[in-house]
């Protein structure tokens, strides 16, 4: 099973992938690099990825190359966070947004890419004609302020109420 490592703190200039690969050349052909570049300028965005065969090799490479100097900067190596299907599907699930009337409606679905302007049919539902779907929220679903700032928010509300009555 291959393991991806994040390579950070790369210089933001034109870097060739082979230059980065040369650092890890003594690890063999099993190590591959991917350099993330800006599409417009072609310059490095300051990070890349390294793919290795297993966890043991990943740990050894992190220990050996973390802080290694590359073009006068010390690179940072750590295990990359895996992309999971749950993370990707959370982005595609529409989350309800509140209308001024207090009811919630689902936000546009990102699942199928861009929606054609001429298309009026809802993406979900059982072909209910032009029926619009509304979702009601209970108190438990309502957006609540962060408890760390609740007292500050209450003070601000009182100050605003005092200003509007004057």
60 in any annotated domain: yes
Split into its structural domains, the chain has a count of 1
pLDDT of residue 97: 47
Q: Report the CATH number that the domain containing residue 40 is assigned in CATH.
A: 3.30.70.330
pLDDT of residue 95: 46
98 in any annotated domain: no
144 in any annotated domain: no
121 in any annotated domain: no
90 in any annotated domain: no
* Over residues 58-81, mean pLDDT: 91
Domain that holds residue 69: 3-79
95 in any annotated domain: no
The CA-based angle 32-38-43, given to 5 degrees, is: 80
SS3 136: coil
In tens, the pLDDT along 96-111 reads 444 455 544 444 444 4
In tens, the pLDDT along 61-70 reads 999 999 989 8
């Amino acid at each position: 099973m291959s393991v991806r490592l994040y390579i950070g703190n790369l210089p933001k200039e034109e870097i060739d992938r082979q230059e980065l690969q040369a650092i890890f050349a003594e690890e063999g052909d099993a190590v591959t690099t991917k350099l993330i570049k800006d599409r417009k300028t072609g310059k490095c965005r300051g990070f890349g990825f390294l793919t290795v065969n297993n966890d043991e090799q990943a740990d050894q490479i992190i220990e050996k190359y973390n802080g290694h100097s590359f073009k006068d900067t010390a690179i940072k190596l750590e295990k990359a966070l895996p992309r999971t299907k749950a993370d990707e599907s959370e982005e595609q699930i529409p989350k309800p947004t509140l209308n001024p009337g207090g009811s919630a409606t689902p936000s546009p679905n990102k699942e199928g890419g861009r929606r054609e302007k001429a298309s009026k049919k809802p993406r979900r539902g059982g072909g209910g004609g032009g029926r619009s779907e509304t979702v009601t929220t209970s108190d438990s679903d309502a957006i609540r302020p962060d408890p760390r700032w609740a007292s500050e928010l209450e003070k601000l509300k009182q100050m605003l109420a005092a200003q509007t009555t004057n």
